[in-house]
A = this chain, B = another copy of it.
Amino acid sequence: MILEYQKLAVTDRSAGTVFPGGDPQAARITPYAARVKMTTRMEDVAKEIGVSRVTLSRVLNESPNVAARTRRRVLDHVQRIGYRPHQAARALVRRRSDLVGIFCSHPENLLVQRILIALQSHLYERGLKTLFQTTRGAEHELEALGALARREVDGLVAFSHYSPPSRLADLVRDRRPIVLSGYGPRGVAVVRANGSGGMARIVRYLLGLGHRRIHYLGPPAPMYPEARDDRRAGWLLALREAGLEKSAMHSAALAIDAAGGFAGAQGLLLGATSRPSAIVCFNDEMAWGALRAAREIGLEVPGQISITGFDGLDLFRYGWPALTTCRLDPEHAGQLMAQTLFRLIEGDEGARQHHVYEGTFQAGESAGPATA
């Protein structure tokens, strides 16, 4: 059991004496850090085995130039006592922490959460630990970028776009290992879904059902023009194809969650303008709120109005009606991000591209034929 944890002892640092089991007097007020002695050192382990620290280190780092027999002996012992080198010391000398930072401005978003989970797993498989941080504003984001610059982390994945694109452009020059989710300047690695294609697919489906007044309910205006709403573009594209661009109506919600969808749909449905026969929403959560709004007004879905989502979260397949949506694969997205970041950390500049993955249309119960 290589990961068996080690027993601790309490030290009296001034006297240099060790009290196994703890000093009952001082324990209550002494910070934990001062109470315990450092974990087993390499020196001791090497001595136990009868080799030098260096040989031990070589085995642990899978370096060449160790006799097979020695390696075996070392590995056996290490495994038995559950030794692992001190990570800080290792990071200090290797100039590499094996830590990856993930920062995220909207950790409440259900799709983001699923991607995060997959991402962490895949990074872990490659020996990278995940430092997670929620960014509330540009200040946090800058701090995360600073951590990368100072090499506190080996790489960064950003689900956050507070920084102006001009600053992101620095990333291009400095060639840091960073992966952005969603959008970013050319020359920076980006992973995103094909939102435009997926949304166009949904709209065409609705057009096929006879809908003509298809309104869009999306996120608030982006902080930077570069961050324009890709999904909205797909909606507009499909309407244009059908020559319905003129009647296109778009409404920006306060947030891309159920509350935002609820409020946004209320505006769309109770407004003075002609009522839409379908509302396509930026994501499932908004659609969910919109569904509620429609019903509170007394509209049947999909009888009197159709409402669609995006992301294809499993949860909403159990809703009533189940959402018609575009399913994205968070597992795949997370894997793609992990792989891209890993390539960048390894110095493969070829990974510095925009990676776009596809969604799949998923017919549900929330969209039906347009009523005359």
Q: Which residues of A approach B to under 8 Å, CB–CB?
A: 1, 3-8, 22, 27-36, 38-39, 82, 84, 86-89, 91-92, 94-97, 99, 102, 107-108, 110, 113-114, 117, 120-121, 124, 129-134, 136, 139, 142-143, 145-146, 148-152, 154-155, 170, 174-177, 257-259, 261-262, 285, 288-289, 291-292, 295, 314-315, 317-320, 344-350
Contact = CB atoms under 8 A, between A and B. Distances in A.
A154 B32 contact: yes
Contacts of A146: 3-6, 82, 84
A3 B133 CA distance: 16
A88 B91 CA distance: 6
Q: Which 4 pairs of residues, A with B, have the shortest CB-CB distance?
A: A5-B149, A88-B91, A258-B318, A132-B132
A298 B114 CA distance: 32
Contacts of A350: 28
Contacts of A89: 88, 92
B107 A134 contact: no
Nearest to A140: B124
A31 B136 CA distance: 32
15 contacts: A1-B142, A3-B146, A6-B146, A28-B349, A33-B95, A33-B151, A35-B175, A39-B149, A82-B146, A88-B92, A120-B132, A120-B134, A129-B133, A258-B317, A261-B318
A314 B6 contact: no
Please indicate which of the listed interface residues A35, A145, A150, A295 has the most CB atoms of chain B within 10 Å of its own CB. A150
A312 to B, nearest CB: 14
A117 B139 contact: no
B319 A292 contact: yes
A288 B261 CA distance: 19
B285 A315 contact: yes
